[in-house]
Amino acid sequence: MSFYSFSKVVALIGVILGTASGCTTAATLSTVTPTVAPVSEKSASIVVDGSTGAVLYQASADLPRIPASLTKMMTLYLTFEALKSGRISKTTLLPVSAHAASQAPSKLGLKPGQTIDVDTAIKAIVVKSANDVAVVLAEYLGGTEDQFAAQMTAKARQLGMRGTNFHNASGLPDPQQITTARDMALLGMSLRRHYPEQYYYFITQDFVYNGKLIRGHNRVLAQLNGADGIKTGYVRASGFNIVTSISDNGRQLVAVVMGGETARSRDAQVVSLVNAYLPQVASRF
């Protein structure tokens, strides 16, 4: 391993351990404002030991990529933070604005003036990747979606996500909204480490809303033993993205694939990466 690669491993471990102990990352990582530039390539991938932060594989992991609905991982991170602090509960009713209702699909089809409870909102984001619901949460927690997006970016910096800018809560196309595969892996690990009591949501594959069964489209959950999340994403400019988390016999792993040409090829790639690198992860038991 080169010194450059080794230093990145050490830095990632430091970030995870530091945030887990309640420290900020300001003392260990300088804040780097990502360069917003046209993304000429879509593909990127990384595989990380979910317990230690050790990088097992990476390809274009630090190049700017479009997150699409992987954005909602941070929307949910801040939602879980609000739940933990007691600011909201799972039964809190969230009002639906005209702005939220006007979001492009995928959406739940909320109407202005309606309300939706937090528990249903979380399920709608995990399973349906509902853009209207993401904005409902953003407006309730941030006042406006723009203000919430600023909070998302600030939290990204605190977690050590140096190559990410958020400009909306849903992941709908925005030229200013970028990330990296490494940052998405870090966010995936942070969700499990910081909010284990809410992490079970990510394995949800369907839920009932207004008497209708709504099914998800994360096929990897059924293809890999121990898969327990986290999120898929797609817009035309990004290609097909996925962050997959594995917890198997005391071993934890996070794999990120971005820029797949099809959902099927993306899924096949992440399954192949998990099968190749999970045996290298040491069990915690």
Pairing verdict, β 93-95 and 115-117: antiparallel
Q: In the annotation, is 128 catalytic?
A: no
- Cα separation, 106 vs 164, in Å, equals 23
- Cα separation, 66 vs 177, in Å, equals 7
100's CB contacts (< 8 A; 6+ apart) are 110, 112, 132, 133, 135, 136, 139
- Cα separation, 60 vs 43, in Å, equals 7
Q: In the annotation, is 43 catalytic?
A: no
- Cα separation, 198 vs 192, in Å, equals 8
CB 65 within 8 A of CB 165: no
CB atoms under 10 Å from CB of 265, counted, come to: 13
Catalytically annotated residue among 69, 97, 238, 245: 69
CB atoms under 10 Å from CB of 237, counted, come to: 15
Catalytically annotated residue among 60, 97, 129, 238: 129
CB 183 within 8 A of CB 156: yes
Q: In the annotation, is 69 catalytic?
A: yes
Residue numbers annotated as active site: 69, 72, 129
